[in-house]
Structure 1
Amino acid sequence: MDQELEQDQEWDQEQEQERINHDEAFKKLLHTFSKEFIELFFPRLAKELDLGEVIFLSEEQLHDIVGGQSRRLDVLFRARLRGQEVHILVHLEPQSWHEADFHERMYIYFGRLYEKYRKQYKLIIPIAVFSGPRKKKERNGIDMRIAGYKILQFRFLKVQLKRSHWRQFIDSDNPVAAALLAKRDYNEEERRELRKAYLRMLLRLRQKLDDARLALVMSVADLYYKSTVEEDQSIAEELNEQDSKEGHELMKLMPEWSKQAYMEGKEEGREEGKELIIRNLLRKDFSLEQIADMVDEPIEKIRRLAK
């Protein structure tokens, strides 16, 4: 019984660590592509905002607002409203598990933001991102009424990734759309088509993103879609038959360890490629836990390469 309990605790810890890794990767995506995030999910809002100079608040400022409930997946930044010298404080929370009282917590966050910044910022925009498997419509506000009187009406903007189909986004050149494509709604029969669409999106993004930002998109996407060497090889071969130029360009974008295996078929090549990827991710300030999850290697190996 004790052994079973210990195994359950270890599994819970692994699940918690995986959740943290995913949320931290999502947070890094938002930091890098905040403008593209707003443009993708809230195009009307994007037209009203000046997102040319986004300023992120520090972890200390965030903790001061949300107190002991602060978590690393909270992101807080400010932008400007077009044509006005008015700051806008935007609170985004990537939410990857279901909480029945989440709408109440968003209201509490909003209230604390308003209390602290109401004299400085005329507009506060709370946004919640639901990235879990749940498709049921999430509640996004609080209403209080009595005897026909409206006491309170609070709403926050929301994104539920699983409530939209992946095919709606395959023609987009938005890097956030590519990174989160596998978080959209799809079934196992569509898995291969989704992967091909994602790889084609990468080919287009390669023309507009530098290597570091493209690597970030690929790293986040790989957290949500666990491809195999064989799967990517097969897709590359198929695309190469359809369009040799496209297939050739795709090979340049394949994860380095997959490309080595594809070209050489050697375990040594895969290991060298993995170590190269690990060193690149370390230079981009990913945590040891995140990298271990991305490349499916023990954290001890990541720690050794980090020295």
Structure 2
Amino acid sequence: MTNAMPVLVREEPARHLDHDGLWKKVITDLFEPFMLFFAPDLYEQMDWSKQPDSLEQELKRTFPVKKGTKYTDKLMKVHLQDGKEQWILVHVEVQRDKEDDFAERMFQYFYRIFDKYNQKIYAIALLTDADRSFHPTSYDYHFHGTNLTYAYNTYKIWREDEETLLHSNNPFALVVLAGKYALKSEKNADDRYQFKRRLFDLIIRHKNYSRENTTSLILFVDFLLAMPEEMDQKLQGEFSSKVEEEVSLMHDTSFPDPPTFKPVFEKLRREEEEIKRQNTKEIAEVMLEKGYSAQEIIEITNITEDELEEIKNQN
């Protein structure tokens, strides 16, 4: 038996903005602080020296969806320190409308995973909607003496205390705060600007965040709190130099650069390409000195014949 446990991240169809992709990415990128934030006791049992394993394809086979329906699901195995294997179901609800069948669907996901894998399951629903009356915490079934109650963990972002989030050292607290600010500023661009500015300042000033975590937070905040272009440009002028010092390019390249700091990421990418080009040139020079043939150098370094000829002429 392997020492691992899987995590499911499921998200509802997005409207206008790809909330699904945003939440999936930030939970994946900040998975360790995510678990510490929501399940500190369980977090202590995990072996974080081992990389969580993605089970994306297995999840798709377990949860086929109807044609035309978009779900962003993620299943991961996470290793434990005690040698036991456990499955974790994390259901992230980003649909902002009330759904009457939500609790039933949570139960369906539970019994399908349990039936397929026969492992323990930790389930949590993150409710990111603004409906204060919508907070389902269990599924109940009763029929002529047959009774069942399935209770699961829930977290309502709208209800979380802002001061508590602001004073937390966990980077995922800022993810939750961003979700709360997005709801509070849906109809007020000026408020959104101030919230976004505050979040950028908090992210950049927190020196204990890794470059990767800082980058993930900036991406999430920038896309979630979408604003008119002129407002983004104003923040760009204020924060670009600071962001350039703190971010990393080690993020999913299939995800676009953040709108406010797109010039920063483009500049860093150009600089990275130039460093790679110089390194390749130096390798080619060493290979020439050691007597490698032109064909061998081209195959190993992927430089062109013209580039190799230029190196020869410079030497």
- Alignment TM class, shorter chain as reference: 0.5 to 0.7
Instruction: Give the Cα–Cα distance (whole angstroms) in 1 for the partners of residues 37 and 14 of structure 2.
Output: 29
**Which AA in structure 1 matches 2:159?**
R
Kept in 1, the 8 Å contact 2:196–2:221? The answer is no
Computed over aligned residues only, the root mean square deviation of the Cα atoms, in angstroms, reads 3.6
Indicate conservation of the 8 Å contact 2:157/2:179, yes or no. Answer: yes
Using the TM superposition, give the Cα deviation of residue 71 of structure 1 relative to its aligned residue in structure 2, in angstroms.
Answer: 4.8
Q: In 2 relative to 1, CA 39–195 (structure 1 residues): closer, same or farther, beyond 3 Å?
A: same
Partner of 1:199: 200
CA contact (8 A) 1:144 1:151 kept: yes
1:77 maps to 2:76: yes
Change beyond 3 A, Cα 1:25–1:190: closer
Distance 1:202 1:221, change over 3 A: same
1:252 and 2:256 aligned: no
Partners of 1:39 and 1:190 in 2: CA distance: 30
Give the partner amino acid of 1:173. N
Structure 1 contact 62–76 (Cα < 8 Å) conserved: yes
Whether 1:295 aligns to 2:296 is: no
- Aligned equivalents of 1:53, 1:130: Cα separation in 2: 30
Bigger fraction of residues in helix? 1
Measured after TM superposition, the shift of residue 133 of structure 1 is 3.0
Equivalent residue for 2:149?
A: 153
User: Residue 143 of structure 1: SS of its match in structure 2?
Assistant: strand
- 8 Å CA contact 1:74–1:91 kept in 2: the answer is no
Alignment of 1:271-290 (within 5 A): 284-287=251-254
State how far apart, in whole Å, the 2-side matches of 1:190 and 1:164 are.
Answer: 19
Question: SS at 1:213's partner residue?
Answer: helix
Shift of 1:157: 1.6
Cα 1:137–1:159 change in 2 (3 A) is same
Deviates further, 44-53 or 84-93: 44-53
> Deviation of residue 117 (structure 1)?
0.8
Structure 2 unaligned regions, length at least 5 = 1-12, 261-265, 270-315
Higher RCO (CA 8 Å, separation ≥ 6 residues): 2
Give me the whole-angstrom Cα distance separating, in 2, the residues matched to 1:45 and 1:103.
23
Deviation, 1:55, is 2.4
Q: 1:163 to 1:52 in 2, by over 3 A?
A: farther
Equivalent AA in structure 2 for residue 253 of structure 1: K
Residues 233, 64 of structure 1: CA spacing in aligned structure 2 closer, same or farther, 3 A cutoff? closer
Determine the C-alpha separation between the residues in 2 that align with 1:126 and 1:62: 15
Asked if the contact 1:81/1:87 (under 8 Å) is kept, the reply is yes
- Residue 9 (structure 1) aligns with: none
Is 1:40 the counterpart of 2:37 in the alignment? yes
Q: Which of 179, 185, 203 is the matching residue for 1:183?
A: 179
SS at match of 2:226: coil
Q: For each residue in 1:84-123, what CA deviation from the matched residue of structure 2 results, as whole angstroms up to 9, or x when unmatched? A: 32212122232111322121111111111111111xx3x1
Q: Kindly name which structure, 1 or 2, has the bigger radius of gyration based on alpha carbons.
A: 2
Amino acid at match of 1:164: E
Match of 1:116 in 2: 116
In the alignment, the residues of structure 2 paired with residue 156 and residue 54 of structure 1 have an alpha-carbon distance, to the nearest angstrom, of: 26
User: Structure 1 141/190 Cα, relative in aligned 2: closer, same or farther at 3 Å?
Assistant: same
Question: Deviations along 1:128-147, whole A, 9 cap, x unmatched?
Answer: 22223333342122123467
| CA deviation profile, 1:12-54 (whole Å, cap 9, x unmatched) | xxx95744x2211211111121110111123333234444435
Q: 1:145 to 1:67 in 2, by over 3 A?
A: same
TM alignment of 1:83-162, pairs within 5 A: 84-97=82-95, 98=97, 99-118=99-118, 121=119, 123-145=120-142, 151-162=147-158
Runs of 5+ consecutive residues of structure 1 not aligned to the other structure: 1-14, 237-249, 257-276, 297-301
Change (3 A) 1:284 1:80: closer
Query: In 2, Cα distance between the equivalents of 1:44 and 1:140?
Result: 20
Matched, 1:163 2:153: no
Q: Secondary structure at the match of 2:130?
A: coil
